Amino acid sequence: MRMVILDGYTVNPGDTDWSGLEALGDLTIYERSPEETVVERSQEAEVVFTNKSILSGDSLRQLPQLKYIGVLATGYNVVDIPATKELGIPVCNVSGYSNQSVAQLVFAHILNHANHVALHSEGVHQGKWSESIDFCYWDTPQIELDGQILGIVGLGAIGKATARIAQAMGMQVIATTRDPSKTPPQGIRWVSKEQLFAESDVISLHCPLTPETQHMINPESLSLMKPSAFLVNTGRGPLVNEQALADALNEGRIAGAGIDVLDQEPPRYESPLFGAKNCSITPHIAWATLAARQRLIDSTVENLEAFLRGETRNRVN
């Protein structure tokens, strides 16, 4: 069986291996595949794996040998799903592999806001502590999280993992739900979206991107937040109106933001958040711990093994 990985570098830049897939057939791995190379590179393949390389309907119709598509991610918008249905090609993704890693980065941003460890370490290396007339100094307020309120928008698996860390640190957790009659997880209180924005000391976004949630962070929702509130977005970039958030930060209407996702990735534009006050930005790395990427590869292998047994696992079409 011939298999092709179109863009393996992001998932595995060399710190793990593809041995599980190599055991199942003849595997060719490309680090990256621009769209114009996809057909040529996949021509003889029965199985194609993609992370972000585009598999358009036009490309798929030129791949008569193709029997299976594995998506090395949770999102599968890079694959023309209607075309795969037409052609009878199953598409299987991987979900849940990065829940703990994403929750961990949420708190990396929150703790950065609370203590500014890197800022103070840099100051020490620059000699500021040595020059201090007191035994210690701090350049930013030091915030204790115990007793503060974390508002979670989207209480799925990642939201729940984030809530568990918050509760371990003594934070109160509130969340929104479309079904308030449902019993909330222990220690979590259901509130309306308006209450969440108004009451939270920290807000963390974990909801899917839909027409209803696009730009949910906007002038109106930002106006409800406390001046001391901190926003974290490790979900999807378009959940946030970047200009509105930058304005709120620059004008001191909220205290800060930790962002791991942007409207366009990589950002081929000058995001207003790049120059915004108290805004930490990481390059979409919440999912990318070695442990999470290994789980992603392991699950990809399990998906293909199931297909070879005549079963489907994590099929999205």
Distance in angstroms (rounded) separating the CA atoms of residues 9 and 78: 17
User: Any idea how long the chain is?
Assistant: 317
What six digits make up the tokens of 183? 């019993």
The verdict on whether 284 is a catalytic residue reads: yes
Who contacts 252 (Cβ-Cβ below 8 Å, separation ≥6)? Answer: 227, 277
Q: Which member of 109, 113, 120, 236 is catalytic?
A: 236
The verdict on whether 131 is a catalytic residue reads: no
Backbone phi and psi for residue 55, each to the nearest 5 degrees, phi listed first: -115, 90
Residue 231: closest CA among 99, 110, 100, 115:
110
91-to-11, 139, 208, 260 alpha-carbon distances in Å: 18, 51, 20, 27
Distance in angstroms (rounded) separating the CA atoms of residues 270 and 93: 32
Q: Which member of 31, 144, 220, 265 is catalytic?
A: 265
Question: Cβ(49)–Cβ(70) under 8 Å?
Answer: yes
Q: Which member of 284, 302, 305, 313 is catalytic?
A: 284
What residues are annotated to the active site?
236, 265, 284
